[in-house]
Amino acid sequence: MIKQLKGYENLYSINNKKEISKLSTGRILKVFKLNGYDYVSLSKNGKRRKFKVSNLMAENFGFVIAHRYREQFKPVIDFENRYEVSNHGRVVRLAHTNSYGRYTPCRLLKPSLSRGYLTVTLFYDGGANTYNVGLLVGRSFLGMQVNTRVYYISDNKQDNNLKNLTLKKYHD
């Protein structure tokens, strides 16, 4: 599958084999290593910038490549086009164009600690709410029902891995 790079349409394309090519020549760009990561250099309007190949893959194919640990990402319920959460408890803001027409790339959110739980702030149409990461994982992967809550199997409230979460029914 080949897609044109977001923000660099009609200049570069990327395929699912992590190969980036220049559309005008059809040549595949050379990848270079920096701090153990694969980078590629792209130019637009005379300005040259370095990009991580894994970030370009995430932005253009809508997922984060984490095959090493079998990490899977699913859309966050009620934020399907904005955020994704992984079975390891990582939350990603997807690439999008903001209300001012400015392109913002895909980014991993840094959780905060609140009452022993890891939380992230998710933004929507002019507002923001803070959510427990375990709740986001539970809603996306376990399919929460009415009258259910997410509970941690171990006593570690900061372990938001899907294997450490379970649903239990409660009564009002």
Tell me what pLDDT residue 83 has: 92
Residue 129 CA to residue 76 CA, distance in Å, equals 13
How does the average pLDDT of the chain come out, rounded? Answer: 85
Instruction: Using DSSP bridges, classify how beta strands 127-132 and 117-124 pair: parallel, antiparallel or unpaired.
Output: antiparallel
- pTM: predicted TM-score of the whole model, two decimal places: 0.60
Tell me what pLDDT residue 1 has: 77
Look up residue 15 and give its amino acid.
N
In tens, the pLDDT along 98-122 reads: 778 888 788 889 999 999 999 999 9
Both tokens assigned to 16: 């699912």
Residue 80 CA to residue 63 CA, distance in Å, equals 13
Segments in the chain below pLDDT 70 = 62-69, 146, 171-172
Considering the chain, tell me which residue range(s) the CATH 3.90.75.20 domain(s) occupy: 2-61, 67-169
In b/e form, how buried is each residue of 151-160, taking b as 16+ CB within 10 angstroms? Answer: ebeeeeeebb
Residue 153 CA to residue 84 CA, distance in Å, equals 23
Tell me what pLDDT residue 160 has: 92
2-61: CATH number: 3.90.75.20
Task: State which fold the 67-169 domain adopts.
Answer: Homing Intron 3 (I-Ppo) Encoded Endonuclease; Chain A (3.90.75)
Residue 66 CA to residue 81 CA, distance in Å, equals 20
